[in-house]
Structure 1
């Protein structure tokens, strides 16, 4: 492919994704769903003209990891750890924990009954489907109250972290649960200390770098530390979350003389620039990830009877368990939040990164795509229903 053609394709992809985003906010249609459909249509067109996109299966996990880092960083930069937020933090943390533990156990039980493989393999296969996608959920609550939006933002941020930590713990526990507890605790503590050191160092650099290129090197350092930690199987996502929380809540950690050393007068403005850069970077990475994932999907896998049955059962479990969780954790009007339970990038990424020796025998390849599509359609239906409820009194 010529360089000019490649530039045209990449530019058009971003512009189309941006148009989908605008369309999504107006017509309550998840933009990620439109990207998946576009990717599948592009696959049909390239097959028709005999064009092959190379290295798709190699690029997908890398894009997914970059997107996960940016999404978690974006979520951390949105979380405020003030005293008045403690109640929301407790409720959303509990909601995320209940959702991941409960939904994983129920879905693993279904897989165990259907496929009769080891329950451990069923747990690993089910866990990715218990994690709500912030990239899809947060735009879907734009029409709800501020309290409902805040609940979803915090819940999805916690779910990303807890889900990945739980997944890493399961991988460690393959041989022994006690050794897994020891290694997991040790690695988490090491990562927490490393994260604290990196936070102070990076904050110092933010205040001292006068070059017009400031945040890209800092984000690159985060990527570098994350990748090194991943090689040694450390809880590297903690670094990203802690860094985001640290920057957005520096008044809790940096006080007195230390504040004069580490922060400058332009810090708040620079923080807004970092948030903007992170959001736009996550948007670009997410665009190409879902386009390529749609492109890599085999249409026949989406009409497989077994895949459709399992995906439908997963959606029922997700909604029923969400109903129970909201009844326990959300004190206000929870019904509009019932339908906000989409699965997205983290679900797909964890599924793709599952080691071959731990994959569930008989698990259909089309299930992740079907669950993402069906959960997005459920969210869209809930949003349209909410719009109808709001508009009906106005007509009367």
Structure 2
């Protein structure tokens, strides 16, 4: 009977998340906040009834990693490469690099000075707070025009990738000095080459598989390549982004003899199914991740004054720097997306990955959740402000 109850709870969670997504589209209430709140309520109910979710501390990083892969892939599958989009990509890359570097230094100095901890520990803890969560940002910009929407997809996806690269570099390479920098550049170049090779291999498999089950093995292969890259501390998210861009722009890469070998025209007919499968799987994983994250959160820690003041300090640094960086870009069309810088899945995942020896002592436990919540509220305010200024409906026509 206990197993039956657990199955009922899983099904109810998916249906509830779907309702939250509909509410988010209509009223601009981020579904992330609703899922986190539901997870907290479930924790109170579980404590009252004595029910506990098994292996919750192991499930959270696994769900976070899968969600990150699927959400970056989902965003990349919506991007089209063409010469007229290169200026947009350059702006997104410039904004991402500036944001991560400047925010990491500023937040790292703030944390190390506030907690009287080594600067390296402060900078490492600052990286997760400097990365925009594509899991939250990408589904939340439906009402924005195409230019702003594509910028957010590029920026948040690049933020995930570059943030992970910087995080891994600090952990694994910083003691080696300049030689570590050279090794880092070499590993990135290797990952780029492997990404292209994997793209052609997976595309070949798609063109040759005639079985009714085709796309889940392809996604499983992509996750496998990602995990193998992580074992060698490579920037595996780069593989995911390149694969998504490759699949949505095969006409740019598959030409001549390759086109006859890979049956590119057949693949383009099935691209819609791949997008649908990726989107729905990402929705499922994202649902359980944020529910579980809310479930494992210690509710009293959110009312800690020190944690709240620390989170407000982080939010002030994040959005003040973001405002000045976007002013330097000089494109007024992007001013509306300044508040679209939520922290979420990638922030939690990186923060939980900090080795015990490099963690900040004395950091309030509620700061992580509070920073996520406050950044999402800032994003919500920005979307409502854009709605009031433009008069565009909160629920776009799909």
Asked if 1:296 corresponds to 2:296, the answer is yes
Q: Give the Å deviation of 1:309.
A: 1.1
Partner in structure 2 of residue 368 of structure 1: 368
Task: Tell me if structure 1 keeps the 8 A contact 2:75–2:138.
Answer: no
Q: State the Cα deviation string for residues 57-76 of structure 1 (Å, max 9, x = none).
A: 11100110111111121122
Q: Write the mapping of 1:190-209 to structure 2, written as runs, cut at 5 A.
A: 190-209=190-209
Task: Tell me if structure 2 keeps the 8 A contact 1:39–1:295.
Answer: yes
Query: SS where residue 162 of structure 1 aligns?
Result: helix
Q: State the Cα deviation string for residues 277-329 of structure 1 (Å, max 9, x = none).
A: 11111111010000000000001111112211111011111111111121122
* Partner Cα separation in structure 2 for residue 333 and residue 205 of structure 1: 41
Partner in structure 2 of residue 92 of structure 1: 92
Q: Give the Å deviation of 1:384.
A: 2.1
Partner in structure 1 of residue 163 of structure 2: 163
Unmatched tracts of structure 1, length 5 or more = none
* Partner Cα separation in structure 2 for residue 3 and residue 336 of structure 1: 48
Partner in structure 2 of residue 143 of structure 1: 143
Task: Tell me if structure 2 keeps the 8 A contact 1:203–1:263.
Answer: no
Unmatched tracts of structure 2, length 5 or more = 393-398
Normalising by structure 1, report the TM-score.
0.95
* Partner Cα separation in structure 2 for residue 170 and residue 230 of structure 1: 15
Task: Tell me if structure 1 keeps the 8 A contact 2:254–2:264.
Answer: no
Residues 144 and 194 of structure 1, relative CA distance in 2, 3 Å threshold: closer
Task: Tell me if structure 2 keeps the 8 A contact 1:91–1:330.
Answer: no
* Partner Cα separation in structure 1 for residue 177 and residue 242 of structure 2: 27
Normalising by structure 2, report the TM-score.
0.95
* Partner Cα separation in structure 2 for residue 382 and residue 227 of structure 1: 36
Query: SS where residue 117 of structure 1 aligns?
Result: coil
* Partner Cα separation in structure 1 for residue 89 and residue 335 of structure 2: 20
Asked if 1:227 corresponds to 2:227, the answer is yes
Asked if 1:258 corresponds to 2:258, the answer is yes
Of 226-235 and 123-132, more deviation after overlay is shown by 226-235
Partner in structure 1 of residue 216 of structure 2: 216
Q: Give the Å deviation of 1:38.
A: 0.3
* Partner Cα separation in structure 2 for residue 246 and residue 223 of structure 1: 16
Partner in structure 2 of residue 69 of structure 1: 69
What's the C-alpha RMSD, in Å, of the aligned pairs? 1.6
Q: Give the Å deviation of 1:222.
A: 1.1
Q: State the Cα deviation string for residues 208-247 of structure 1 (Å, max 9, x = none).
A: 1111111111111111121122122222222212211211
Asked if 1:189 corresponds to 2:202, the answer is no
Task: Tell me if structure 2 keeps the 8 A contact 1:93–1:155.
Answer: yes
Partner in structure 2 of residue 50 of structure 1: 50
Task: Tell me if structure 2 keeps the 8 A contact 1:25–1:139.
Answer: no
Residues 149 and 60 of structure 1, relative CA distance in 2, 3 Å threshold: same
Equivalences, count: 392
Of 210-219 and 324-333, more deviation after overlay is shown by 324-333
